[in-house]
Structures are given as structure tokens and as C-alpha cells.
Structure 1
Amino acid sequence: MPECEECGGFVTQDFIRVFGSGGEVHGCPHCMTNRELGDGEATSRTE
């Protein structure tokens, strides 16, 4: 089952395709705002 690398929340394969990079997503609606997702912040790990 696909999940967010940051919080472990469930995400769909389509969500990963749109917001992720390399088959991974480092943020989801559970741990990021829509603005952060729209800005592409889910493609890389936050420090």
C-alpha cells in the first residue's frame, strides 16, 4: 500500500504520480498544506 514517506499516511498511486518524484512522495494532505503541495514541496524530504 503506497504511503507518505514523511508521516506514513495513505496516498494513492495517482497522488504519487502527480506530487511525487521517483515513485516516492515526501508529503501528503495529512502533513502538508495544499499550498505546500502545489509548490512542489512533496517531491523532496523536508529538513
Structure 2
Amino acid sequence: MKNFIDDFAGAIHDILYYVSYFIAGLIIVGVPLYLIAILFGWISQKI
């Protein structure tokens, strides 16, 4: 039973590890791109 719990905890850890890297990548790449898109939209309305 201990091996099952240990393997299960390891699997959850691996999944959360990759999910957290994915979310961090979205934040690092997505937020600046979103802000640039808002900036260009604002500039295009001013012209």
C-alpha cells in the first residue's frame, strides 16, 4: 500500500510540475502580448 501511495503522490507531483510550468509560460508570454495588443488597439483609435 505504501508503494501505491508513493507512486500516486509522485504522479500527482509530476502532473502539477508540468501544469505549473505551463501556467508560468502563459503568464510570461501571454500577459505582455495581451498588453501590447491593448496598446496597439488604443493607438489605432487615436489615429
Provide TM-score, normalisation by structure 1: 0.21
Question: Greater Rg, structure 1 or structure 2?
Answer: 2
Greater helix percent: which structure? 2
Q: Which has the higher contact order (CA 8 A, sep 6+)?
A: 1
Provide TM-score, normalisation by structure 2: 0.21
